[in-house]
Amino acid sequence: MGSTAVEIHGVSKHFRLRHTHSLKESVVWALQGRPQRDDFVALHPLDLTIAQGETVALLGRNGSGKSTLLKLVAGVMTPDTGRVRVRGRLAGLLEVGAGFHPDLTGRENVYLNASILGLDRAQITARFDEIVEFADIGPFLDTQVRFYSSGMFLRLAFAVAVHTEPDVFLVDEVLAVGDEAFRAKCIERIARLGAEGRTLVVVSHDLPLVEQLCSRGVVLDRGHLVVDGEVTDAVMTLRVAG
């Protein structure tokens, strides 16, 4: 095991849920004496260290704080307490196709999205053919993305993301894409990223898949870290909890 790739130290996050969204509503709610906001703790202070080359599955039920944790690692949100540090270039695939614009062509979107994910012009040009080949969208490359079928859209978006070759790769529940053949290709590609020694953090409810892709399992429950160990143990815990 190499040096630390992701270090999460004492990180917590709470959200303030506002129930009122206009002046009128807040006056009415205030007169009725109802509280206008609730605090919701998404993550209790949490420590987690991931070494370079580790493949980690973040597991837990809906609302357990997995996605919040991933967003904190990606730097999209800032934690209330503690800090997150990452070594090397990070790419977050928190949603397939974030940053794709329907009015641009596939080609333009590849450049835009790869650039958003941190590549420079030369790197994108060098990988362009590979991306297009992986996406396998044939003659639609120069068509506006709005005319793509949803499967084609996902294939292109996924192709861009996996070809940015980050040092740390975050994947949030995006493997349920495309048809069976493309899904297999994606999984094979992600497994290869892992085999190349890149750090992988995967959030998924697909337990068999996670067992296949990851070696380490971390289970969250209502914002607490409850299991951190072999992926099989983590999956077992979840299955038992039902």
Going by the DSSP 8-state scheme, the letter that residue 164 receives in this structure is T
- Candidates 32, 37, 54; CA nearest to 218 is 54
Instruction: Convert residues 200-239 into a mask of x (bound to other proteins by CB under 8 A) and - (unbound).
Output: ----------------------------------------
In the complex with other proteins, which residue's Cβ is closer, 189 or 207?
Answer: 189
In the complex with other proteins, which residue's Cβ is closer, 86 or 219?
Answer: 86
In the complex with other proteins, which residue's Cβ is closer, 112 or 226?
Answer: 112
Using an 8 Å Cβ cutoff, are 94 and 170 in contact? yes
For residues 15 and 208, give the distance between their C-alpha atoms in angstroms, rounded to a whole number: 32
Q: Is 27 in the site for other proteins (CB under 8 A)?
A: no
Helix (H) or strand (E) holding 200: strand 199-203
176 φ, ψ to 5°?
-85, 45
In the complex with other proteins, which residue's Cβ is closer, 15 or 29?
Answer: 15
Which of 65, 92, 106, 217 contacts other proteins by CB under 8 A? 92
Which of 51, 63, 81, 87 contacts other proteins by CB under 8 A? 87
Q: Is 83 in the site for other proteins (CB under 8 A)?
A: yes
In the complex with other proteins, which residue's Cβ is closer, 74 or 210?
Answer: 74
Which of 25, 38, 47, 95 contacts other proteins by CB under 8 A? 95
Which of 57, 86, 157, 203 contacts other proteins by CB under 8 A? 86
Q: Is 89 in the site for other proteins (CB under 8 A)?
A: yes
How many binding residues for other proteins (CB under 8 A)? 43
Q: Is 198 in the site for other proteins (CB under 8 A)?
A: yes
For residues 173 and 92, give the distance between their C-alpha atoms in angstroms, rounded to a whole number: 12
For residues 223 and 41, give the distance between their C-alpha atoms in angstroms, rounded to a whole number: 7
Instruction: Convert residues 113-142 into a mask of x (bound to other proteins by CB under 8 A) and - (unbound).
Output: --xxx--xx---------------------
For residues 117 and 97, give the distance between their C-alpha atoms in angstroms, rounded to a whole number: 11
Q: Is 111 in the site for other proteins (CB under 8 A)?
A: yes
In the complex with other proteins, which residue's Cβ is closer, 124 or 235?
Answer: 124
Sign of CA dihedral 147, 150, 156, 157: positive
175 φ, ψ to 5°?
-85, -5
For residues 51 and 215, give the distance between their C-alpha atoms in angstroms, rounded to a whole number: 12
In the complex with other proteins, which residue's Cβ is closer, 119 or 220?
Answer: 119
Residues 6+ apart with CB under 8 A from 196: none
